[in-house]
Chain A
Amino acid sequence: MAKSKRSARTRRHAQKGFAILALLLLVVAVVVVAVLDHRVTKQFEGRRWTLPARVYAQPLELYVGQTLSAAKFTQELSRLGYIAQGPAARPGTYRRKGDRIDLFVRAFHFSDQEQAALQLRVAFDGDAITELTDTQGADVPVIRLDPLLIGSIFPIHGEDRIVVSPDQVPPLLPAALKAVEDRKFDTHHGVDPLAILRALLTNVRAGQVEQGGSTLTQQLVKSYFLDSRRTLGRKAEEAIMAVILESRFEKTDIMNAYINEIYLGQDGRRAVHGFGLASQFYFGKPLSECALHEIALLVTIVRGPSYYDPRRHPERTLERRNLVLKLLAERGVVKPEEAERAMKKPLGVTDNAGRSANYFPAFLDLVRRQLREDYPEEALTEAGLTVFSTLDPLLQEKAEDALSEELERQEKSGRKSAKGLEGTMVVTTPQTGEVIAIVGGRRASFDGFNRALDMQRPIGSLAKPLVYLAAFESGRYTPASIVDDAPVELKLPNGQVWKPGNYDKKLRGPVPLVRALTQSLNLATVNLGMAVGLDKVAKTYVQLGLDEAPPAYPSMLLGAANLNPIQVAQMYNTLANGGFRSPLRAVRAVIDEHGKPLKAPELEVSQAAPAEAIYALDRVLIEVFERGTGEPARRSLPPTLVVAGKTGTSNDYRDSWFAGFSGGHLIVVWMGHDDNSPTGLTGTTGALPAWAKLMSSISTTSFEPLMPEEMEDRWIDYFSGKETSPYCDGSAVRLPFMYGTVLEPSETCPPGISPEEAALLAPPAEGTIGPDGAPLPSPMPPTQP
């Protein structure tokens, strides 16, 4: 009895223990579920993907008179993912008939305007748009195409995505996803036990994990809330969260989240998430415009973005895509004949990831740096901003080509010093101060050292125009003033003596300023700079747009200052812009995810120097191409195009520079070695041909600033600086002077001379008059380019 009593007591204890244990487990389970529920609900409700700022290129503006041919226009359209199809009846399509193009422009939210999708008719005549109307024939004065997406600002090793709303998703996509990945999606409660069982069986048979059996909801949970470890506990957690998610949210919400969340590929450091970005990444067009075979490919990629990478493994991916198409037909999503037709189509991915993603790392780097001045890093990488940049994709491509072709040509010369030559280019539009292209190096799509922004190199003779600007600004000099190209010795603050020389070791004695600058004479420039004052010359660097003046040492006069190509572009942009300084911009506007405009750098102008001094300098810089160090480029430029610029070469030929401009474009080119070893190139032989190649391949205008009111043109002798007549053979050069400037008349060929008289004076041979009256070969060899 006692025994049974004891056992009964034990049993009661045990029962009580179990009860307590069960209760505890229940409490733990409830707590776990509650915690997970809280997490799932909270995170999913205020659903915000970290949205990297999206960066767009400048849009193509269409208007009557725009310089654009039908052929170039169709190129632009295909770059934007427009397809030539039928009567252009839906956004993203066009039809070309000779010189007429009908197109359906996509809707786009610009910074200032929501532009609805619209149908247009464009007529071309050669290189220009001659008609721009809507389908009713009414004139459209001006319209923008949707701009090219050129990248996004994502954290290092970060996720990148384009979020799409349900109305931007073709209905075929969710249907296909359900048919292939999760047939019971519409009815299950987050998990599909049968599918799990089926997967388990397959896996046991195979002896390893082969099939997922996860529902779309589980895949979403795994990607959105959890890391990628595949443990049993993780699986359980995933299943519970999936059930919670299903009980709290609508199916359509979950599907939309899946479409925006899921991982679909890798592009270098950036992870491609969501179908919106995947469509851009693989096809270069919006998801809404994807056809059946493209949607089938995206659904294929979901299974294994690296295994089914259409660019790296096209065969197996195509096989799987066709399997998906077959499945879609079998499961009634599409008609069998539709699937058949789609199976015959190629994968349709754009050539290579670099180009299709429109990857311009050097330019994006500048965009990022300019934005960082106004926005914290998280705002850029997470807040879903849209950035409208100044990049001109067509020009960027041309700049990349011009630079790499020239670098290759140099290498092919066989000179040892040309091996591994590097280069960089910056292009701006002077009047608006916009940076429209940056080439960071020979391999433009390589995201590495950004030479345009991070390199600091001596600018050589690019510094000379600043000396002459200071001289003209002082009011004591004109382009005809005489300066002595004679030896100079200067005592430096450290006690050393600086003894510069001319490039060709020759001395030219008294020369007018116009010759000293166009032929880049070192000694004349140093003598002029010392006479004007080092502090005054140093000040011009700031006037033209640098943040601070270089140290006012005499060597500054010959370009000892270390600058990067963007800084050079900033200074020369001011010269190209009639002396008005505009801080260079890579960003036009920024809007938040609701379309509200945010802070962005504004268009600014300020007068940097007196108009007369700038005008005189600019006119002398035009002469660089007529009789100075830029002359060799003249024949490769369009004969009527007026341009101005300056060569630069640093000591021992380490840096070859050219900075020059037309009316519409400023281009700065640098060539050199990353290890700073000599290149054997001057500005004339290295950078100038690349500059000329780009300048002659773009549509631009002549540099023709208006002469200030108080100035007039007069003819002077290039070698003596004396006033002469336009008929005095090749040595007369027309330059601007303030009214009332006293010029000494030439004795040999005075201003009033008639053409007949002048003809009798001119030497019979093709020669020019040297400073001493002796005929010299023409053109004069440059001294220090």
Chain B
Amino acid sequence: MRLAPVPILVLLLMASGCTLTSFEPDTPKGTGTHTPTPPAPGSGPIITSVPEVSPTAPGAEPGSVVAPTPLPRERPRTPPATLSPASKALVGQAQTQRKKGDLPGATASLERALRIEPNNPLLWIEMGRLRMDQHNYPQAEAMGRKALSMSVGDNRTQSQAWLLISDSLKARGKNPQAQEALAKSKELSQF
């Protein structure tokens, strides 16, 4: 029963006008309804070059990881992040406070914005810029990396995050890594 004759089924289905490839999969009932939705194929501008990894690659254990395939890989792009009106007002206030040298005040304003929009990468980049002013370079870099993790698919924001990371590396004399980060920033800004 369970071992249904798959090939026959396939033939039958093809004969009835269905193809196996043109179907857009739906999430089946009862599973995965609460899991984050992966980028749906076709929803983004381009999907190219999904590598062919042989399921029977010699020596590879099922479930193991082979050497990562080369990047960049095209994933659906998302529109650039924007600030809500409340965050925008608070970021503006923080920038004024920064100019006046009131760094604790600027921190407080940015933290207010972060509580309203904790998932907005632009706010983490802004916070990282503030940490640069405070000469807290490791934290500036960490904030940049946090911004990266929450802007997957958003090239413009990722470019800004890499620029922050590059600046923080440069400030610590880590020039080769800073150059690398800067290159990433430039590359992403071209999209």
Given contacts A475-B65, A607-B142, A706-B152, contact A602 B114 (CB under 8 A): no
Do B104 and A754 have beta carbons less than 8 Å apart? no
Do A602 and B107 have beta carbons less than 8 Å apart? yes
B15 cross-chain contacts in A, Cβ below 8 A: none
A227 cross-chain contacts in B, Cβ below 8 A: none
Do A512 and B38 have beta carbons less than 8 Å apart? no
A354 at interface by CB-CB < 8 Å: no
Do B105 and A112 have beta carbons less than 8 Å apart? yes
Residue of A nearest to B72 (CB): A709
Do B108 and A112 have beta carbons less than 8 Å apart? yes
B173 at interface by CB-CB < 8 Å: no
Instruction: Give Cα A722–Cα B60 distance, bound, in whole angstroms.
Output: 14
> Chain A's nearest CB lies how many Å from the CB of B145?
6
| Size class of the B contact interface (CB-based, 8 Å) | 35 or more
Instruction: Give Cα A63–Cα B143 distance, bound, in whole angstroms.
Output: 25
Residue in A579, A606, A726, A773 whose CB lies within 8 Å of B28:
A726
A282 at interface by CB-CB < 8 Å: no
Do B51 and A476 have beta carbons less than 8 Å apart? no
A643 cross-chain contacts in B, Cβ below 8 A: 34
Residue of A nearest to B113 (CB): A142
Instruction: Give Cα A142–Cα B110 distance, bound, in whole angstroms.
Output: 13
B43 at interface by CB-CB < 8 Å: no
Do B61 and A112 have beta carbons less than 8 Å apart? no
A166 at interface by CB-CB < 8 Å: no
Do B146 and A605 have beta carbons less than 8 Å apart? yes
Residue in A431, A478, A611, A708 whose CB lies within 8 Å of B65:
A478
Instruction: Give Cα A663–Cα B117 distance, bound, in whole angstroms.
Output: 11
Do A726 and B25 have beta carbons less than 8 Å apart? yes
Do A626 and B108 have beta carbons less than 8 Å apart? no
Given contacts A63-B116, A112-B109, A607-B142, contact A739 B69 (CB under 8 A): yes
Segment of A16-24, A326-334, A756-764 in the binding face: A756-764
Instruction: Give Cα A726–Cα B33 distance, bound, in whole angstroms.
Output: 11
Do B142 and A431 have beta carbons less than 8 Å apart? no
B31 cross-chain contacts in A, Cβ below 8 A: 626, 726, 730, 732-734
Instruction: Give Cα A756–Cα B25 distance, bound, in whole angstroms.
Output: 12
Within 8 A of A (CB), among B1-20: 2-4, 6, 9-10, 13, 18, 20
B46 at interface by CB-CB < 8 Å: no
Q: Which of B28, B53, B60, B84 has the most CB of A within 10 A?
A: B28
B23 cross-chain contacts in A, Cβ below 8 A: 754-755
Instruction: Give Cα A44–Cα B152 distance, bound, in whole angstroms.
Output: 63
Residue in A663, A709, A744, A757 whose CB lies within 8 Å of B119:
A663
Instruction: Give Cα A742–Cα B27 distance, bound, in whole angstroms.
Output: 23
| Size class of the A contact interface (CB-based, 8 Å) | 35 or more
> Chain A's nearest CB lies how many Å from the CB of B136?
8
Instruction: Give Cα A604–Cα B127 distance, bound, in whole angstroms.
Output: 10
Given contacts A740-B69, A757-B6, contact A110 B86 (CB under 8 A): no
Do B150 and A734 have beta carbons less than 8 Å apart? no
Do B66 and A740 have beta carbons less than 8 Å apart? yes
The secondary structure that dominates the B interface is loop
Interface string of A764-775 (1 = CB under 8 A from B): 000000000100
Instruction: Give Cα A619–Cα B38 distance, bound, in whole angstroms.
Output: 12
Interface string of B58-76 (1 = CB under 8 A from A): 0011111111110101010
Do B118 and A589 have beta carbons less than 8 Å apart? no
Segment of A167-175, A235-243, A646-654, A745-753 in the binding face: A745-753
Residue in A144, A597, A726, A739 whose CB lies within 8 Å of B68:
A739
B55 at interface by CB-CB < 8 Å: yes
B97 at interface by CB-CB < 8 Å: yes
Residue of A nearest to B102 (CB): A112
Residue in B32, B64, B146 whose CB lies within 8 Å of A478:
B64
A664 at interface by CB-CB < 8 Å: yes
A111 at interface by CB-CB < 8 Å: yes
Residue of B nearest to A743 (CB): B62
Do B64 and A588 have beta carbons less than 8 Å apart? no
Residue in B27, B57, B115 whose CB lies within 8 Å of A726:
B27
| 4 A-B pairs closest in CB distance | A141-B89, A431-B118, A112-B108, A744-B62
Q: 10 other contacts beyond A111-B108, A626-B35, A740-B65, with CB at 8 A cut-off? A: A63-B86, A110-B108, A476-B65, A643-B34, A706-B150, A710-B71, A727-B25, A732-B28, A744-B55, A756-B9
What would be 13 A-B contacts, judged by CB atoms less than 8 Å apart? A65-B86, A429-B118, A475-B65, A481-B63, A578-B146, A622-B35, A710-B68, A732-B28, A732-B31, A742-B55, A743-B62, A745-B55, A752-B20
